[in-house]
Structure 1
């Protein structure tokens, strides 16, 4: 009992929205005016660091939308103001949540063009890495690409497909698609590899690692292959999947996954570091980083 109480206190200390009243859809009041000067300054420093790193590394759609949505305004964005700008472009809005929410609520928001973003900002002690997504990861990393009409349609379709995956007991397969695209996806462009995954875009270390390190595999996008591939939560990715365009992502994923789910039930999973015989390998990793940490096979 004492341990649970201490854990609750720790969560509240890190996330001041942890005990905020929740609506039926798990949204909360952002209460933008309640952010402190220190919290706004933390956002500004995180923003400035990534804004310096990403030109020439992030995909153009992200860089352009960051400007269009005026994310460089001083301090943590007011979700209501940000939603007004975003909704005029693609009909999406940003809604505040205290943290991670149940899967069915998450899918319902996406299916209705609402992106649930954590309202709290990471503490100073976790500036470099935070396992639970905060406002910087969710808004800086995810929201700009919602201004792209094709990407916006893909994420809406993903939300609509979520309930079926839940009903079939195959959410783990669909979650892998989200992980290897929305969170950690790369795109091949005429000027080379570029980042579009929010987990990379919001991380200075993984921004460099994903594009420039020889350690990970980089493999061309294949829907079935991705849905069979496990992933790492608490470290850099051992394999990155590379799309050609958001049009490719939408076209290959805008389908009934029923037959695919049936095949997946009969097929073994791939470990995060594994390459398959049919992979179109763009770069085979040497795994020096993971071997040094005892993480690779």
Structure 2
């Protein structure tokens, strides 16, 4: 969407900022059971895989109690810790609406949950992906600041027509980021921590490249939206990620207009290589396996 395009009209029942009531009482027992199944499966898998900030946030928010969490309940603790809150939206929202929420420390979350036969793959993010995957990291003050800075940067990027570059930063950090720790690589991206299959693939499979995070490198790299990633970027710390985002992006955008994309499976000069992947999974055709 161009910066000159008007913001689409919210769907019926949504407010002007695209938020809706969560209507927690309307969830069926079957829907709560899906949350419980997903929650229990992931929490058994993530110790030793997810970063400490995610695991601490998961404990702080008590996301297991009563099935699908009531946003008003978790917002009390989330707001106390970092000033963030979760707001319900009817689905994917326009870019400018999304950035406006992030810039004001509001995380938009879908209220629907996947069906029992969709546990391992869902095309549109649901409440499990949005709340289990994203919200625990928002309890960490540094990551919370990063997300706000990203929202503020997104509002500026819309005016430059370079949103595709900034979207790659979100994808390779917020959704599919890895963190370097003294115990080894850990996952923090929501697209990984909310997916049983990708929680394993991202850390253990020999197929993908795992490369050190470099802001401009990331912003020149396309991504997969329909399958496991062919490359993951590893940040040295959450503080380093925040600092990279707080710099002036204007000269970066100017350079990017002259810089070609880097193919998703390519090693580029200057890359810090954690894993030189075989790319065997992608070359074999892959499959729709991420959730």
TM-score by length of 2: 0.94
Q: What does residue 247 of structure 1 align with?
A: 239
CA–CA distance in structure 1, aligned partners of residues 142 and 87 of structure 2:
21
Contact residue 20 and residue 98 of structure 1 kept, 8 A? no
CA–CA distance in structure 1, aligned partners of residues 263 and 128 of structure 2:
30
Moved over 2 A (4+): none
Per-residue deviation at 1:74?
A: 2.4
CA–CA distance in structure 2, aligned partners of residues 141 and 20 of structure 1:
27
Q: What does residue 47 of structure 1 align with?
A: 39
Contact residue 187 and residue 242 of structure 1 kept, 8 A? yes
What does residue range 259-278 of structure 1 map to in structure 2 within 5 Å?
A: 259-278=251-270
CA–CA distance in structure 2, aligned partners of residues 236 and 19 of structure 1:
32
**Number of residue pairs the alignment of both structures matches:** 278
Contact residue 227 and residue 286 of structure 2 kept, 8 A? no
Per-residue deviation at 1:272?
A: 1.4
CA–CA distance in structure 1, aligned partners of residues 226 and 104 of structure 2:
30
1:164 to 149, 156, 159: 156
Q: What does residue 279 of structure 2 align with?
A: 287
Q: Structure 1 residues 45 and 159 mapped into 2: Cα distance closer, same or farther (>3 Å)?
A: same
CA–CA distance in structure 1, aligned partners of residues 252 and 112 of structure 2:
38
Per-residue deviation at 1:20?
A: 5.6
CA–CA distance in structure 1, aligned partners of residues 27 and 44 of structure 2:
25
CA RMSD of aligned residues (A): 1.3
What does residue range 31-46 of structure 1 map to in structure 2 within 5 Å?
A: 31-46=23-38
Using CA pairs under 8 Å that are at least 6 residues apart, name the structure with larger relative contact order, 1 or 2.
2
Q: What does residue 175 of structure 1 align with?
A: 167
Q: Encode CA deviations 1:10-31: one digit per residue, 9 max, x unaligned.
A: xxxxxxxx97610000001110
Q: What does residue 85 of structure 1 align with?
A: 77
CA–CA distance in structure 1, aligned partners of residues 179 and 12 of structure 2:
38
Per-residue deviation at 1:113?
A: 0.2
CA–CA distance in structure 2, aligned partners of residues 168 and 109 of structure 1:
20
Q: Does 1:197 align with 2:153?
A: no
Q: Structure 1 residues 294 and 115 mapped into 2: Cα distance closer, same or farther (>3 Å)?
A: closer
CA–CA distance in structure 2, aligned partners of residues 157 and 291 of structure 1:
37
2:225 to 233, 249, 254: 233
1:214 to 195, 206, 211: 206
CA–CA distance in structure 2, aligned partners of residues 227 and 165 of structure 1:
12
Question: SS at 2:263's partner residue?
Answer: coil
CA–CA distance in structure 2, aligned partners of residues 102 and 21 of structure 1:
16
CA–CA distance in structure 1, aligned partners of residues 55 and 116 of structure 2:
26
CA–CA distance in structure 1, aligned partners of residues 25 and 220 of structure 2:
44
Runs of 5+ consecutive residues of structure 2 not aligned to the other structure: 1-9
